[in-house]
Each structure stands twice: as structure tokens, then as C-alpha cells.
Amino acid sequence: MDDGSCFYDYYGCTNPSADNYDPSATIDDGSCYFSGTYGCTDPNAVNYNPWANYEDGSCYYYYYGCTDPSATNYDFNANFDDGSCYYDYYDCYGDLDGLAIVDDCGTCAGGNTGIQPCVLIGVNTISESANALEIFPNPSNGRFAISELEELGNSVVIQLLDATGRMVLRQTWNAHQGAVHMVDVTLENGVYLLHITTENGKRWNNTVVINAQ
């Protein structure tokens, strides 16, 4: 005779505070969920929330790669830099990893150019006067004037070089004594070499300080 003592295991949610609590369940099967717990429900995501039972679209993932836009192997999709960035170096002649440099005369020389670099000893002025040219204001905010105090010839080439020797500006003027030439540049703050060459080969160097506000 069955005395009614039989019992059976029922799997379900045994947590009374859960939305899907099953009072007849005897073994918890991990199915409990709780209303109002929003978050990322993807275990593969960086911000996975094991307590979330409603996906709110907040999941995000690490994509490893080079995150520097100036690098050769920049990865637009990467959001975590893995230190893999590398950079192609081109010399002033345009050769990859080349050896050409801008020499003291403002010329791209050496490497595959076939030009021997020149070396200026000290500062070569255009004439015996140290005041053949005047630069003002210096420091400037990127706009400065060069005044010719002496006759320099019919043509003058101006070059502005940065601290690495890279030419950042080149202009040619029709020169005459008393002329004032305005120069406008948009450059980072720093010290630049102003190199001027006349048509008869004389050279003049000075420094220009850019201090844009």
C-alpha cells in the first residue's frame, strides 16, 4: 500500500526573490532571473555582467592593434594599443630609410642624391655688415618681417628649417634694398633656422623663434 511518502526532484529556480521562483522546485538549476538588472550579458565582452538578465547594448570588446594614426600600421578598429606600431622613415630625398639629409646650406644632400653635403663654418653674412637683414618681431607668433638693409641682388631664396633639418618653408623674392618681406607660417612653437641665399651664392643664417599664443 502506498503511504504517500514518495517524493521527486524538480529542477527550477528556488530563490523566492527571483521573478521566476518555482515553489515546487527542489533543486536550483541556475535559471533564476531578477527584473531590473540591465547590463552586458555577453561573457566574451570586457564589461560582462553576470548578474544582468536584460541586455542593454553596453557590451564592448578589446581590439588589440596600433592606435597611433601616424604609424604605418595604424589600425582604425583597434581600441587598445598593443605596442606594435612602427613608422616608415623617409629621408628628404624621398627614400625609405634613406640617408639623405638637409645640410647646412639647406640642400638635400648625401644618400642617393649624388650631392656632397656642405658645411657652414659659423654664420656667413651676405656682406661685411652684420646687419644686412633685420628680422622682426622675433620671437613671433608665426608672422614676421624681413627687412633688406643692404642691396642683396635681384633674387633671394629663403628657407626655414626645423630642429631636425627638415625644410618647412621655401620662398623666392625679387630683392632690392629697403624692401620688407612678410612671412606667414603655421608651425609648432620652437626655434627654426632661417637660411637665405642670394643669386650670387652668398648666404645668411639666423634663428627665428615661433611662440604662437
Report pLDDT digits (tens) over 80-125.
899 888 877 777 777 887 777 776 666 777 888 888 776 554 434 4
> Is pLDDT larger for residue 4 or for residue 13?
13
Report pLDDT digits (tens) over 175-208.
777 778 888 888 888 888 888 887 766 777 777 8
Q: Within a 13 Å sphere around the CA of 35, how many CA atoms are in the beta-carbon half?
A: 4
* 30-34, 71-75, 107-111, 178-182: which is most confident: 71-75
Structural domains in the chain, sorted by start: 133-210 (2.60.40.3080)
pLDDT at 130 over 60: no
